[in-house]
A and B are shown apart, each in its own frame.
Chain A
Amino acid sequence: MVISTTSSRFAQMRELKLGTIASNLLRDLGLPLLGIAIFLLVWQGAASQVHTSLGQFPGPAQVLVQAKGLYAEYREDQEREAAFYVRQNKRNADRLAEDPKFVADAIRPYTGKPTFFKQIGTSLKTVFTGFLLASLIAIPVGIAIGLSGNLYSAINPLIQLFKPISPLAWLPLVTIVVSALYATEDGGVPKSYITSSITVMMCSLWPTLLNTAVGVTSVSSDLVNVSRVLRLNWLRHVRSIVLPASVPMIFTGLRLSLSTAWMVLIAAEMLAQNPGLGKFVWDEFQNGSSDSLGRIMVAVLTIGFIGYVLDRCMLQCQRWVSWDKQAVQR
């Protein structure tokens, strides 16, 4: 009797366990896939209803075709680039064979029309520049206003005033100021890159600034007392107590800043004509060929995917550096 009940209990438990594994699998894999499938169906259905001046709105299948097309263009361009250098090297070698005293010409760089993947590279470079500049300003200022209530009172109204400003408002000003201050010679950093980076910086500054300030003000008073008893000087107090204690909040801010930066970047690139994804979208829009809508959709999905990957990377960084594992949200 006892044995039979226990064995049936085991059977029950096993069933339960299998049941939970199955339901977990369904939740972690099945449901997302289902969601994506439904989305694709709805997209296909809706796209077939939308007729534009450039033809029918592209469904998933057409977008896939365009993605393949962009990849093929990239491969073609790579081959052309390789061939270009091979040609130059060959020419130099031939001349050298004819005349041993010949000094080879410097290899000229390849200048093709930027491909989609090059544009992704440009966008990433621009966003990281802006984000880095923003962090270099936001973290020290955040620490300063977190430590000093007076400074906070002085700066807070400015923060509240500048925080809601859209990149579109900043860009014309930034463009003109950059043009005035920075005369670009050939080979220098392009103006559009500087303008876009600075606009990204101005818009992505705020989350890091505010989160750092909150992190610093909420350092536990016990830890501050420890520092006082040890008579840590200002620098050591900041370095060994304040900074590590607010690292979780700083990283929360950095993560928000990076996603803001990425969002702002596309708009900035469109206006500043920085040869990144934003310009790609803009050019296709101006282009208005029958492929344009599909190519823009590829860019839109790429923007989303890269944004997601950037966020995951930041989350991983946050996990590595945070001593407070609970502060790391999803």
Chain B
Amino acid sequence: MATLLELTQVSIEFKTPKGTFKALDNVNLKIAEGEFVSLIGHSGCGKSTVLNIVAGLLHATTGGVVLDGREVNEPGPERAVVFQNHSLLPWLTAYQNVELAVKEVARGKKSRAEMKAWIEHNLELVHMSHAMHKRPSEISGGMKQRVGIARALAMEPKVLLMDEPFGALDALTRAHLQDSLMEIQRDLNNTVIMITHDVDEAVLLSDRIVMMTNGPSATVGEILDIDLPRPRNRLQLADDAHYNHLRHEVLRFLYEKQRKVDDFPAAGGGAKSATTVAEPVDAQPNVVDIKSHELKNREVA
């Protein structure tokens, strides 16, 4: 498959009162058309920064991003962003929020009637037709996030960028939205970069998982191919050995190789359970399948 998006030797430094802070160092990544890539890593490592550089909202200090043969240097609708906290305009209804984007992107390309149909179609995709004339304050968090996704999809982006789109939602709502997203992805086959903290989410949705090292000077640590067949079903996968192996690979990267020392102090009651997550794996790699359930429980908690 042809490479659609390429990050080459991207580094970024922030000016802070205490001097410059190098958040990213030499990030290289190639993403093919139609690929769904997850970005995972500990909090504060620089995931949002990578996404914002691709979006054009931040500028890399060195290196650059090329999309479809053209260098990215400003934000634009061909790189639509789904923000973590929905970012809907609170004074507009769901429909009007999508309309704002469609009017801007399809100006002069679609007739008024076509625009209306297109807005409604996108709200339909995310199952929001029933509440499209409600304002953000009148709908639930999950619904707001659906509208945010509809708005981004309606821009017909070359790459869809999602910064922890489901991070603020409860587990059940999140599962619903993940299923919706897989459905949409099956139909539209968008190129997607999604940031997540949730290992299950990453494995379930992605074609590849990009695991980032801890900052400062964070970079791509490992890339894991998720070669599970689609369509994927979360219930069937729960007992799938390969799925659990992949999950475990991600967990091992996060909690063993990139363990955040300050998160798990050596002594103390609360820290003990956290350290035991990694230890048995270390000692006996072949008990992974048994332990994975335990790991999963901890992940939820």
* A positions within 8 Å CB-CB of B: 220, 222-223, 225-226, 228-232, 236, 240-241, 244-245, 247, 323-324
Q: Which residue of A lies closest to B97 (CB)?
A: A226
Bound: A4/B18 CA distance, A:
71
Bound: A232/B75 CA distance, A:
11
- If over half of A's interface residues share one DSSP class (helix, strand or loop), that class is named, otherwise mixed; here it is helix
Interface centre among A220, A231, A244, by most chain B C-beta atoms within 10 angstroms, is: A231
Bound: A113/B36 CA distance, A:
83
Q: Which residues between 62 and 93 of chain B lie within 8 Å of chain A, taking CB atoms?
A: 74-77, 79-81, 83, 85, 87, 89-91
Sample of 21 A–B contacts (CB below 8 Å): A222-B83, A222-B85, A223-B87, A223-B89, A225-B57, A225-B87, A229-B55, A229-B57, A229-B75, A229-B76, A229-B80, A230-B77, A230-B100, A230-B104, A230-B155, A231-B74, A231-B76, A244-B91, A245-B89, A323-B137, A324-B90
Interface centre among A222, A223, A226, A323, by most chain B C-beta atoms within 10 angstroms, is: A226
List the A side residues contacting B100 at CB < 8 Å: 230, 240
Bound: A323/B56 CA distance, A:
30
Q: Which residues between 165 and 180 of chain B lie within 8 Å of chain A, taking CB atoms?
A: none
List the A side residues contacting B223 at CB < 8 Å: none
**Contacts A226-B89, A323-B90, A323-B91; A231 near B77 (Cβ below 8 A):** yes
Whether B135 is near chain A, meaning CB under 8 Å from some CB there, is yes
Whether B182 is near chain A, meaning CB under 8 Å from some CB there, is no
Bound: A323/B88 CA distance, A:
13
The reply to whether B101 and A230 contact each other, CB–CB distance below 8 Å, is: yes
The reply to whether B75 and A225 contact each other, CB–CB distance below 8 Å, is: yes
Interchain residue pairs A-B with the least CB separation, the first 9: A323-B91, A222-B87, A228-B75, A230-B104, A229-B75, A244-B91, A226-B87, A323-B90, A229-B81
Bound: A247/B81 CA distance, A:
26
Bound: A247/B91 CA distance, A:
10
| Chain A-chain B contacts (Cβ-Cβ < 8 Å), number | 52
Whether B105 is near chain A, meaning CB under 8 Å from some CB there, is yes
List the A side residues contacting B83 at CB < 8 Å: 222, 225-226
The reply to whether B81 and A225 contact each other, CB–CB distance below 8 Å, is: yes
List the B side residues contacting A232 at CB < 8 Å: 104
Determine how close the nearest CB of chain A comes to the CB of B165; give it in whole angstroms. 13
Query: Given A228-B56, A230-B100, A230-B105, list of 11 further CB < 8 A pairs?
Result: A220-B87, A222-B83, A223-B89, A229-B77, A231-B77, A240-B100, A241-B89, A245-B89, A323-B90, A323-B91, A323-B137
Bound: A323/B97 CA distance, A:
14
Bound: A231/B85 CA distance, A:
20
List the A side residues contacting B91 at CB < 8 Å: 244-245, 247, 323
List the B side residues contacting A226 at CB < 8 Å: 83, 87, 89
Bound: A290/B249 CA distance, A:
97
Determine how close the nearest CB of chain A comes to the CB of B154; give it in whole angstroms. 11
**Contacts A223-B87, A226-B89, A229-B77; A323 near B104 (Cβ below 8 A):** no
Q: Which residue of A lies closest to B84 (CB)?
A: A222
Q: Which residue of B lies closest to A240 (CB)?
A: B100
List the B side residues contacting A241 at CB < 8 Å: 89
List the B side residues contacting A225 at CB < 8 Å: 57, 75, 81, 83, 87
Bound: A324/B81 CA distance, A:
25
Bound: A231/B56 CA distance, A:
11
List the B side residues contacting A223 at CB < 8 Å: 87, 89
Q: Which residues between 83 and 137 of chain B lie within 8 Å of chain A, taking CB atoms?
A: 83, 85, 87, 89-91, 100-101, 104-105, 135, 137
Determine how close the nearest CB of chain B comes to the CB of A120; give it in whole angstroms. 37
Q: Which residue of A lies closest to B135 (CB)?
A: A323
